[in-house]
Amino acid sequence: MNAKEYLNRVRFADISINTKSDELYHLKLKSLQVSPQSQGERVQSSGSGGDFTKIIDKIVLLQDKINEEITGLVELKEQARTLIHMLTDERYKTVLTEYYLNHKTWEQVADCMNYDLRWVYRIHGKALKEFSKVLNSH
């Protein structure tokens, strides 16, 4: 696995968690729209009580999945951060950390570093080469 693939694993794990968190938010909203059946109601069909239970089950399963992924992401980020901090050039560390670990866009990275976007791309290319050396030595 090359340096970019390694770092993209972290970035995409973060994106996956964010996507699932959005889905969880919408499921929770949906659960507020479906009312559970009360104990005293006469049940003729599965009705909305079944829908409510299904939604709650999905919420619990999705929350468990998100929690598992967050645990993995924390470990991935910790490993990547350790390797990134082995680089000697602070600009390289900043670009890799902001983009891959902090999930910023290239424009946001350029703004925080007060650099032109094209310059950030150049630094990124050099940073990946240096990171590759660190990655291959560990």
Q: What is the DSSP string of 17-83?
A: HHHHHHHHHHHHHHHHHSPPPPTTSPPSSSHHHHHHHHHHHHHHHHHHHHHHHHHHHHHHHHHHHHH
Distance, in Å, from the CA atom of 93 to the CA atom of 9, rounded to the nearest integer, reads: 17
Say which amino acid occupies 129.
K
- At residue 34, the pLDDT reads 66
Distance, in Å, from the CA atom of 101 to the CA atom of 54, rounded to the nearest integer, reads: 35
pLDDT above 80 for 129: yes
- Scanning the structure block, which residue is given the tokens 């996507």? 19
> What are the pLDDT digits (tens) for 6-50?
999 999 998 999 999 999 999 888 888 766 555 555 555 545 556
Give residue 3's pLDDT band: very low, low, confident or very high (50, 70, 90): very high
- At residue 37, the pLDDT reads 57
- Scanning the structure block, which residue is given the tokens 């049940």? 43
Q: Which of 48, 68, 55 is nearest to 26 (CA)?
A: 55
- At residue 54, the pLDDT reads 85
Distance of CA 5 to the CA centre of its chain: 15
Query: First vs last Cα of the chain: how many Å apart?
Result: 13
> What are the pLDDT digits (tens) for 56-104?
888 999 999 999 999 999 999 999 999 999 999 999 999 999 999 999 9
- At residue 27, the pLDDT reads 87
**More confidently predicted of 126 and 36:** 126
Full-model pTM: 0.75
Mean pLDDT score of the chain: 89
